[in-house]
Chain A
Amino acid sequence: MSDPAIDIAGLAHRYQGAAAPTLSIARLSILARERVALIGTSGAGKSTLLNLIDGRLRGWTGSANVLGLALQTDRSPPRDHRRRTGFVFQEFALVEQATAFRNVMNGRLGHMPVRRSLFGLYRPADAASVDRALHDVGLDDFAARRAERLSGGQRQRVAIARCLAQQPDLILADEPVASLDPVNARSVLTTLRDAAEQRGAALVISSHQPDLVADYVDRFVALDGGAVVYDGPAAGFDDSRFAAVYGGRPDDSSQVDPT
Chain B
Amino acid sequence: MSRVRDGSGEDGRRDRPPWGPYLVSVALAVLVLWAWTGSEVDLGRLAAGGGRIVEFIGRMFPPDLTVLPIVFEASAETIRIAVLGTVGSVILSVILGPLAVRTLMPRFVSAPVIWLLATIRAVPIILVAMLMVGAVGLGPLPGILAIAFHATGMLAKFYAEAIEGVDRAPIDALDSTGASFLQRLRFGVWPQIAPDLVRDTLFRFEMNLRESLILGVVGAGGIGFYIQTYVRAFQYDKVSTLTVVVVMFVLVIELANGAIRRLLR
Contact = CB atoms under 8 A, between A and B. Distances in A.
Interface of A: 54-56, 76, 79-87, 89, 91, 93-98, 102, 106-111, 114, 117-118, 159, 162, 166
A97 B82 CA distance: 30
Interface in B185-204: 186-188, 191-192, 194-195
A85 B176 contact: yes
Contact of B178 (A93, A96, A159, A166): A166
A95 B187 contact: yes
B173 to A, nearest CB: 4
Contact of A109 (B172, B183, B194): B183
Given A97-B191, A97-B195, A91 B169 contact: yes
B178 A95 contact: no
B1 interface: no
B167 A109 contact: no
B191 A109 contact: no
A93 B169 CA distance: 5
B172 A93 contact: yes
A107 B172 contact: no
Given A94-B170, A96-B167, A56 B183 contact: no
B178 A110 contact: yes
Shortest 8 CB-CB distances between A and B: which pairs?
A110-B178, A83-B178, A93-B173, A93-B169, A109-B179, A82-B178, A87-B176, A95-B170
Given A79-B178, A85-B176, A114 B169 contact: no
A109 B177 contact: yes
Interface string B212-241: 000000000000000000000000000000
B188 to A, nearest CB: 6
B191 A95 contact: yes
A38 to B, nearest CB: 17
A162 B173 contact: yes
Nearest to A87: B176
B73 interface: no
Contact of A80 (B173, B178, B188, B191): B178
Given A56-B172, A79-B180, A82-B175, 14 more contacts: A79-B179, A82-B178, A84-B178, A89-B169, A93-B170, A95-B192, A96-B167, A96-B170, A102-B187, A106-B173, A106-B177, A108-B177, A109-B187, A114-B183
Contacts of A96: 167, 170, 192
Nearest to B188: A95
Nearest to B185: A118
Most buried by A among B176, B179, B188, B192: B176
A98 B191 contact: yes
- How many interface residues does chain B have, given as a range? 20 to 34
A54 B176 contact: yes
Contacts of B187: 95, 98, 102, 106, 109, 117
23 contacts: A56-B176, A81-B178, A82-B176, A83-B177, A84-B178, A85-B176, A87-B176, A89-B169, A93-B173, A94-B173, A95-B170, A95-B188, A95-B192, A96-B170, A96-B192, A97-B191, A97-B192, A102-B187, A109-B187, A110-B178, A111-B178, A118-B186, A166-B178
A97 B264 CA distance: 12
B178 A106 contact: no
Contacts of A94: 170, 173
Given A93-B169, A98-B191, A107 B177 contact: yes
Nearest to A163: B177
A83 B176 CA distance: 7
Nearest to B186: A118
B173 A166 contact: no
B246 interface: no
A129 to B, nearest CB: 13
A84 B176 CA distance: 9
Contacts of A89: 169, 172-173
Nearest to A166: B177
Given A91-B169, A94-B170, A95-B187, A118 B177 contact: no
A109 B182 CA distance: 11
B174 interface: yes
